[in-house]
A = this chain, B = another copy of it.
Amino acid sequence: MSYKAWFQCASGCNERYELNEIIYNCKTCGGLLEVKHDIEKLKHRSPGSWMRLLDERYRRTKWPFGSSVWGKKEMVCPNVDNENVVSLYEGGSNLFWAERLGNIIGTEDLWIKQCGNAHTGSFKDLGMTVLVSMVKQMISEGKDIMGVACASTGDTSAALSAYCAAAGIPAIVFLPKNKVSTAQLIQPIANGALTLSLDTDFDGCMEIVQKICRENNIYLANSMNSLRIEGQKTVSIELVQQLDWEVPDVIIIPGGNLGNVTALGKGFLLMKELGMINKLPRIVCVQAAKANPLYQSYLSGFKEFKPVQAQMTLASAIQIGNPVSINKAIKMLKLFNGVVEQATEDELANAAALADKTGLFNCPHTGVALAALFKLLEKNEIKKDERIVIISTAHGLKFTDFKVKYHENKLEEVESKYANVPLELPPEYDKVNRAIIDKISEYS
């Protein structure tokens, strides 16, 4: 059975392009592209047989199917030959049962999907493996591709650089000079990316990277690239798989450019279309109050959308005022009985810290999701007996400054309710003993 996928214009004109074409927008109407699959071919296999196949491959040794992205290859990107797959064993991250946090907030069935427990420390690996593999495929077919470029200061450039380094393909990262430190860039730098620091702002970088890519057969790994969505959608499939193919009631996901809302929705819709699941979860998208254009639109019943000027937020990866994927995301939220909630700096930091006390180590974006959950439970928009899955997008080890400042009570606009301060004591048994006995009785 030869499965097939292609790019298709998502703006209504339905023009099609091959996945091994270097293309980012529809040539006819300029619209965004999305990856479409030959669903009829996928339906030749029964739902139960798909589930069995995916389970059989999950975390096993047969290349490349042990990766949870490539174990779903036919539904993700069948157009890449196995020997061109660039995989760092994506997915398979813990679906953490938040038993203690659930007890504190009164939910019974709360799960936190630890997507940040990944090679480069964020969920971006899931999409980047597909994009870089497709580039390797094109190179193997004789396409003259010099490298892959992006303008990003964060998780995207880290993932791009690691996958390119593993593949031996040059990665080129564009950044505004003096706005980014070596520390922020240490992943691309360590992975040998060609790092260009331009004396301009972020928009200036974007302009030049686009022209460079257009003129030089350098592939652009921007967030509109819909190959990445195909990898990211496997989170939906994997988490259902980890729940023994039961669909949770609610999925909560932080939203900036909103590609992940689209990706998660796509995963669920595909499973439903193939008969693997019978219901859809509600999708809750959460934003920082400092960068909340989707939330504003939600308040108007999605009747209108206006970009906002994003302000500085601790949730830096979703500090976006004019999301690229806004239209796709709103469409998806309408299909999934969607809810949008926001969280202030104080709310997100305290929510992350409370959850950390129960064994997690949350990034601020997960803090936004947790804070939103607390609010929606209070409003009874999420019920306490529902099965809730929060998508945690990055490892807390990427955000140790945030945590240090929280526990030193030095974050602006945040009153650190759960700050944990070391006790200073003389090295005397009795005093130490007394202190432990006093403090342990307060432990919760």
CB within 8 Å of B: which residues of A?
58-59, 61, 88-89, 92, 94, 96, 99-100, 114, 117-121, 146-147, 162-163, 165-168, 170, 172, 175, 177, 182-183, 185-187, 189-200, 204-205, 208, 211-212, 215-216, 218, 242-244, 353, 356-359, 361, 395-398, 400-401, 403-404, 407-408, 418, 420-427, 429, 432-433, 435-437, 439-440, 443
Given the contacts A194-B439, A212-B433, A119 and B117 also touching, CB distance less than 8 Å: yes
* Residues in chain B near residue A242, CB distance under 8 A: 61
* Residues in chain B near residue A165, CB distance under 8 A: 100, 356-359
* Residues in chain B near residue A205, CB distance under 8 A: 427
| Cα A168 to Cα B440 with chains together (Å) | 12
Given the contacts A59-B59, A358-B165, A361-B191, A199 and B426 also touching, CB distance less than 8 Å: yes
* Residue among B59, B172, B418 making CB contact with A58, cutoff 8 Å: B59
Other A-B pairs, 10, CB within 8 Å; known A194-B439, A218-B436 = A100-B166, A162-B361, A186-B400, A190-B353, A190-B407, A191-B361, A194-B423, A195-B420, A196-B425, A198-B426
Given the contacts A359-B88, A359-B162, A440-B146, A398 and B396 also touching, CB distance less than 8 Å: no
The secondary structure that dominates the A interface is mixed
* Residue among B177, B193, B197 making CB contact with A420, cutoff 8 Å: B193
Q: B100 near A420 (CB under 8 angstroms)? A: no
Given the contacts A166-B100, A190-B353, A408 and B359 also touching, CB distance less than 8 Å: no
* Residue among B94, B196, B218, B407 making CB contact with A422, cutoff 8 Å: B196
Q: A186 near B94 (CB under 8 angstroms)? A: no
